[in-house]
Chains A and B, each alone.
Chain A
């Protein structure tokens, strides 16, 4: 066993940290940046381009596609450092569309898309969930009908992120309604400015919005089919060799707990420092234990990937525990802030820039996104522990 990072890895971590400290737009450290927000988006893109120039954005990609085939542990470190500073660096193009095109795409598709993705020129939105297909994703009903050289796509996609600037959407659509549900799905990419696409904002309970995307007879050229027709489920679900440890939960939480401890040491309530309250001390100590646990779970996933083992229950364990751990930390944070906890970020006296108040509303949503905690537990029980499917 060896729980430490190699010297080389530590140097890499330092290099990333130094670069970010130097190049990060100054106000990122003061406020929370929302990559979905049109006013923040140019800053995010600008910074991503800097990361792309360093080669870090696609460090996980194979060399033949302009990546560095970086070891999983270095990807882990990179993601850890980005999450610690709240930087949305790795997007769906880098982590999903790019690798999927490498695996399943035609030469033409590779030539067209991969450089644009690696240079942060395309922003993607993911067209997976539908109003009637969430946890049961394979029940999706958006229909694509062949029409000459095109598909005609009709249906709706929901919870789309990055909609405010996304120029492309990758999506799962039904191409054979008579086949068993997993076998009649195809993987398409479409330009967002195609005729027939309308985007409707869905404001969320915190300062953020997602989108409902409606497609009505949208023409998608057949050359935009990725992988084989009717094999889209397997294209989308391909075990991409991309770092998927879930380190962002532990990493962002370790920043948050530091800020909370600092806040407690500087804030009086009813004549006493918050840091003298034994219940607050105990609850934050409990969270420090949970953060370390989430970190070890994430490390173990990256370690398995570094040995070319395929994590299944381990990745679900890390996601379920990590995302719920953040919810618990934020709940405790809100109690610590007391009456100030209800202040929104715009308020001049909002503690910690209103971050806790926002996370109080958004962190439960992250435990639902990308496979809810309940779905993760189904995976742990059936794929991981071998319990019979219900």
Chain B
């Protein structure tokens, strides 16, 4: 048993921390909240140069060939500074979907460019009445000659507004179980986007798809097998989000402890009061849980072991624990923490986004019900 980082991971963590502290200060995060694209291309190019986008893709496709566990370490650091932009959605939703489901040609076409930072790809699964659920997808793809014609709508599509391609999950037969994946240029005729304003100031779009016409080679993976790929991607995505929450929650704890040491009331630091100490201790308990559950799930995925249980547990715990941590962080910061100028509230808002991404705690608890024998 070894629960610590290896040398490569420690180096990755240190260099990521160093880079992000310089390149992604809170002023940048705050500026990007109101920026229309939500990220700066200079920074995107820099992280591509660092090899981060290609971190876990095989070298044959222009990546670095590291593991998902290594990516987890990087995502922790990104979560810690609330790194804005399409990294997560492009790497997990775009690149990983292609890696898992795509044919050789598709992998060659898309992944190397993605690793270089040349392509932004979004994944569109959920709809306004469908949340990580195979049977309720209403978007339909019908074969007409050698074309697929897609109609329907997608909700909460991460970073679709700046994407080059969107991977769309659509029904491909009368059976609700038959879902297939299609990759479409985002600017296609037939795709209309509306950008939402969200609690986490991330960029999510509503997409309406009307007679979108796609060639046969836009099908990714086997026909009617799309949901098996989506399940896999959701697992990676859920643990990836846990990693962001792990880093974010550590930062919230550190920030709160620091504030409690500095802030003087009644003639002494508020951190000397047991009420505040116990809030901080409760935060530390939750942070510890997120860290180990996340690492365990990620390690299991990376080792190719059956990890359904650990993934569901990690996401269920982290989703709720991160919000508890932020709520206590807010309490300890008092009024200042609720102001726009303070970083505390930026974490609180993102904690809610992270919960909703790739299955919230209730969603994963339902999986756990089955796992424990119900």
Contacts and interface: CB of A to CB of B under 8 A. Distances in A.
A282 B277 CA distance: 31
Interface residues on A, range: 35 or more
Given A3-B1, A378-B274, A381-B278, A261 B374 contact: yes
B292 A296 contact: yes
B contacts with A: majority SS: helix
A350 to B, nearest CB: 23
A384 B5 CA distance: 21
Interface stretch (A168-176, A181-189, A284-292, A354-362): A284-292
A73 B362 CA distance: 34
A contacts with B: majority SS: helix
B200 to A, nearest CB: 23
A296 B372 contact: no
A233 interface: no
Interface in B88-133: none
B280 A1 contact: no
B183 to A, nearest CB: 34
Nearest to A9: B1
Contacts of A275: 374
A265 B372 CA distance: 12
Contacts of A377: 277-278, 281-282
Contacts of B295: 1, 3
Interface stretch (B174-182, B235-243, B336-344, B363-371): B363-371
A79 B348 CA distance: 39
Interface in B253-287: 253, 257, 260-261, 268-269, 271-274, 276-278, 280-282, 284-285
B246 to A, nearest CB: 13
Given A284-B372, A288-B371, A374-B278, A300 B365 contact: no
Given A261-B372, A265-B373, A303-B1, A387 B284 contact: no
Most buried by B among A285, A377, A389: A285
Interface string A1-23: 11111100100000000000000
Interface residues of B, number: 47
Nearest to B371: A288
Contacts of B272: 387-390
Contacts of B274: 374, 378, 390
B316 A380 contact: no
B288 interface: yes
Contacts of A1: 2-6, 9, 69, 295, 299
Interface in A226-282: 257-258, 261-262, 264-265, 275, 281-282
B173 interface: no
B372 A288 contact: yes
A235 to B, nearest CB: 28
Given A381-B281, A388-B272, A285 B365 contact: yes
A321 interface: yes
Contacts of B310: 292
Interface in A338-390: 374, 376-378, 380-382, 384-390
* 3 pairs of A and B residues whose beta carbons are closest in the complex: A381-B277, A377-B281, A380-B281
Interface of B: 1-6, 9, 69, 253, 257, 260-261, 268-269, 271-274, 276-278, 280-282, 284-285, 288-289, 292-293, 295-296, 299-300, 310, 313, 316-317, 362, 365-366, 368-369, 371-374
Interface of A: 1-6, 9, 73, 257-258, 261-262, 264-265, 275, 281-282, 284-286, 288-290, 292-293, 296-297, 299-300, 302-303, 306-307, 313-314, 317, 320-321, 374, 376-378, 380-382, 384-390
Given A1-B295, A261-B373, 8 more contacts: A3-B1, A3-B296, A264-B374, A286-B365, A296-B296, A377-B278, A381-B280, A381-B284
10 contacts: A3-B1, A261-B373, A285-B366, A293-B293, A317-B288, A321-B289, A387-B269, A387-B280, A388-B272, A390-B272
